[in-house]
């Protein structure tokens, strides 16, 4: 039987009835030990009957029921205490002390080249609707490998919310096992037997695919059978194909997307231009008129904007000679606030206009108020009262499109970066917005950063380059006493 119950002894501490699944990788058992003892996996020496456990294989490390497993290693914080407590300044604190002082969220320990998974989880967790759906997910609902992956992600998000390095390490270990079961290619190992680095974009797509199958949208808020992913991350394109070599009538269709791509060419210096260039492509396909392959112009316009817009910088390309996915390091600027109005179809642009006008009206009023307050002789400056947030989705009569974006305005809330020269090497990090501030989530090290540091992630060198961007809806707040009947969110269907 692959599952056994063992006794783990660390120093003077004894932990009985520790369940181990020997079908899992040894690193997952080390993560369990970390959850119990607080000793990081890389600092552990695990011995049973004179045999030391390796990270990549169980080998001769045979476990039986009630076997005694000895763990040697100390916590990083096990240092002699200072005789007198001294005042600590923020500038003098290490990352652990800073996290405690500033109430920073928990990170996820690297289980051996698992930074790609950790960064993906931290970015997706910034979507409140997705986080809430995961926290209430029925883990007993089955669903095969997709269900196991969703259940493990639910457990990981819950552990991150509760805090506690041990609980997060155990949950991350189970998530890694579920991810490997759902996508065996992500379980590949390097020449030395250790887990190989993986592409964060592939991990993101695999997790989103599982959630798409297992997280249904709330009834009454979306089309029957749709998922949270389709509701909040899914957009629609109106596509037109025109033959460049023959007089054929154009063909029109619709395509769904869960992310947009920004291709990086010599001319692309900004995210907006990279997105715009992708909307007009030249493709080759069979022409029934000519009876051969012909060049077609494919023009795409967005007809449904999702609340949360994922953008991938296409930074990697395959180099046959080296057999690696080489990286394009070019600097491509991205904004903290993104406007995608020009990428939308005329029909959608018309529907976006009322909320966009409302944004302008509120912003103009804010500027007027600021100018008025500077005038010392002005006694008519308005007192700022309570505000309420207007819905960011279309409130269509009878059937609201909850999870859409009704303005075309977005605000950046997460960046997944890569540092290195290949997608199968280097290091991935998540940079996430929380409560008006930004945090860098580098595995289990979480530190505050400035907006300026985030904007420097645009590339151009060997520092971290933005690989995936996650934009959320820009929220418009109005005075609480403003008549709700005037809300432009209730635009025409």
CB 173 within 8 A of CB 19: no
Give ∠ CA 339-343-344 in degrees, rounded to 5: 100
Give ∠ CA 237-128-436 in degrees, rounded to 5: 100
Residue 230 φ/ψ, nearest 5 degrees: -65, -35
Is residue 45 helix, strand or coil?
A: strand
Alpha-helical segments (H) within 421-483: 451-455
CB 401 within 8 A of CB 391: no
Residue of 216, 196, 36, 23 lying closest to 117 (CA atoms): 196
Question: Is 168 one of the annotated active-site residues of the chain?
Answer: no
C-alpha of 250 from chain center = 38
Instruction: Find the catalytic residue in 48, 115, 203, 243.
Output: 115
Distance CA 146, CA 404 (A): 25
CB 471 within 8 A of CB 413: yes
Distance CA 395, CA 388 (A): 16
Question: Is 180 one of the annotated active-site residues of the chain?
Answer: no
Structure tokens at 46: 């695990």
Structure tokens at 204: 């993101």
What length does the chain have?
493
Residues 6+ apart with CB under 8 A from 53: 26, 29, 30, 46, 47, 61
Structure tokens at 80: 């002699």
| DSSP code per residue over 335-363 | -SEEE-GGGB-HHHHHHHHHHHHHHHHHH
Question: Would you please indicate which residues are annotated as catalytic (active-site) residues?
Answer: 115, 427
């Amino acid at each position: 039987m692959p599952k056994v119950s063992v006794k783990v002894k660390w120093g003077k501490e004894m932990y009985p009835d520790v369940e181990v699944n020997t079908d899992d990788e040894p690193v997952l058992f080390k993560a369990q030990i970390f959850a119990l003892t607080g000793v990081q996996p890389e600092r552990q020496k695990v011995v049973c009957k004179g045999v030391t456990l390796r990270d990549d294989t169980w080998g001769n490390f045979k476990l039986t029921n009630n076997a005694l497993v000895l763990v040697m290693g100390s916590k990083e914080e096990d240092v002699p205490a200072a005789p007198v407590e001294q005042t600590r300044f923020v500038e003098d604190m290490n990352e652990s002390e800073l996290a405690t002082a500033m109430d920073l969220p928990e990170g996820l320990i690297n289980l051996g080249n698992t930074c790609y998974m950790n960064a993906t989880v931290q970015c997706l967790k910034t979507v409140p609707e997705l986080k809430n759906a995961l926290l209430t997910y029925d883990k007993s609902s089955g669903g095969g490998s997709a269900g196991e992956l969703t259940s493990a992600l639910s457990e990981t998000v819950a552990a991150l919310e509760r805090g506690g390095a041990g609980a997060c390490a155990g949950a991350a270990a189970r998530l890694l096992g579920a991810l490997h079961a759902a996508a065996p290619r992500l379980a590949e190992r390097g020449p030395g037997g250790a887990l190989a680095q993986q592409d964060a974009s592939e991990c993101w797509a695999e997790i989103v695919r599982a959630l798409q199958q297992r997280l249904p949208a709330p009834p009454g808020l979306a089309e029957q059978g749709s998922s949270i992913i389709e509701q909040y991350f899914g957009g629609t394109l109106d596509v037109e194909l025109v033959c460049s070599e023959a007089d054929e009538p154009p063909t029109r269709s619709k395509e769904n997307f869960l992310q947009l791509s920004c291709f990086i060419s010599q001319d692309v210096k900004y995210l907006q231009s990279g997105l715009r260039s992708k909307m007009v492509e030249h493709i080759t396909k069979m022409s029934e008129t000519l009876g051969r392959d012909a060049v077609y112009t494919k023009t795409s316009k967005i007809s449904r904007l999702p609340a949360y817009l994922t953008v991938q910088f296409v930074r990697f390309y395959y180099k046959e000679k080296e057999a690696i996915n080489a990286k394009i390091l070019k600097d491509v600027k991205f904004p903290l606030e993104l406007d995608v109005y020009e990428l939308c179809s005329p029909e959608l642009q018309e529907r976006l206009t009322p909320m966009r006008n409302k944004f302008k009206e509120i912003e103009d009023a804010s500027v007027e108020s600021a100018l008025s307050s500077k005038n010392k002789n002005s006694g008519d400056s308005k007192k700022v009262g309570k505000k309420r947030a207007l819905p960011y989705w279309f409130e269509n009569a009878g059937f609201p499109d909850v999870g859409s974006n009704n303005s075309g305005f977005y605000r950046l809330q997460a960046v997944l970066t890569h540092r290195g020269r290949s997608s199968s090497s280097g290091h991935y990090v998540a940079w996430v917005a929380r409560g008006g501030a930004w945090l860098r989530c580098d595995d289990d090290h979480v530190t505050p950063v400035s907006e300026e540091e985030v904007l420097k992630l645009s590339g151009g060198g060997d520092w971290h380059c933005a690989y995936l961007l996650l934009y959320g809806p820009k929220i418009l707040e109005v005075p609480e006493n403003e008549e709700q009947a005037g809300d432009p969110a209730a635009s025409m269907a």
